[in-house]
Copies of this chain bind each other. A is one copy, B any other.
Amino acid sequence: MSSPPFCGIASFGRQEIRLTPIEGQSADVAVLGCPFDGSVSYRSGTRFGPRGVREQSLMLWGYHNALQVAPFDVLKVVDAGDVDVIPVDIAKTHSLIEAAASAWVEAGTTVLGLGGEHSVALPLLKAAAKKHGPLAVVHFDAHGDTWTEEYPGYPLSHGTPFIRAIEAGAIDTECYFQLGIRGPTYAASDYLDARALGAKIISADDVGERGVKSIVEEIRRQVGTKPLYISFDVDALDPAFAPGTGTPEIGGLTSREAVGLLRGLAGLNVVGADVVEVSPPYDPAAITSVLGANLAFEMLALMALSPSRKPPAGRA
């Protein structure tokens, strides 16, 4: 990364562009853009999320001081480009994402998805679960995204990925955390329903009151050595920290809390992750893209520190 960040074509973290797995050339992590925003209920624009995050990722100088790891050295990370989504067909788009992700997963590569809207977490979860079985999930969000349906009659949308993933057996409901939840809901049943599905709801207020450390301990205890998927909707953060998103809710996490919660997961067995709902059209100073790039970097650090990742000789 010797070029200044304003120079050059922006692949994630200036890593090699490799659009599909290449036989005989292993990769540890594939950063996969999923620029679909066709089902959002309010402000659109997350189709430009992967591009925005890639651009800001050029400021990720490489070494993670808090976790003392250099993810791009420890891991062979490739930028797998974007899935060619079809704006008018969410089901087909999900198939395309699942196929692309599965190809990487089957090749032994962990997928780090960049949204796009949160619905893309569904095919990403399914691709990871196909290999690893039901996944422990730490899900950052203002909204549970576990509605039965957002548009009556349509099972797929950005408000439903987690209920669909549960139904598909992709989530280990004994170990499903929702972090940062807050704001108005349709009814009291929203939370009750999510809890009935197994979700442990930790609200943004809980984070403030209990503190990062206590929550991290609870999660670690629960997750143990299970395969873990981390799904991060940037609206888990307060709009002050993440204005560029579709359905901002006040009273959210600070970036320090968010980063603290993520770092607390170091050493767990991260087998998949995503950063979603970054919407550049609503991000005039690009701080939400900066946030998204850094959250992705945090996840790479977690992957680098995952017990299942044995850094190949000659790296790190």
Contacts and interface: CB of A to CB of B under 8 A. Distances in A.
A45 interface: yes
A4 interface: yes
A63 B4 contact: no
A190 B55 CA distance: 24
A287 B138 CA distance: 26
B7 A63 contact: no
Nearest to A4: B41
Contacts of A35: 6-7
A46 to B, nearest CB: 9
B9 A10 contact: yes
10 contacts: A6-B42, A7-B47, A7-B82, A8-B33, A9-B9, A9-B17, A10-B10, A63-B190, A64-B184, A238-B240
Interface string A79-114: 101111111111000000000000000000000000
B81 A8 contact: yes
Nearest to A84: B3
B6 A88 contact: no
Nearest to A40: B87
B184 A65 contact: yes
Interface stretch (A126-134, A166-174, A246-254): A246-254
Contact of A154 (B48, B86, B151, B254): B86
Contact of A286 (B11, B51, B208, B282): B282
A191 B68 CA distance: 11
A216 interface: no
A74 interface: no
A68 B191 CA distance: 11
A64 B185 CA distance: 7
Contacts of A62: 184-187
Contact of A47 (B6, B208, B241): B6
Given A65-B191, A188-B68, A256-B204, A42 B287 contact: no
A2 interface: yes
Nearest to A156: B88
A184 B63 contact: yes
A70 interface: yes
Interface stretch (A225-233, A266-274, A290-298): A290-298
Contacts of A44: 37, 44-45, 47
B250 A291 contact: yes
B45 A285 contact: no
A306 interface: no
A140 to B, nearest CB: 14
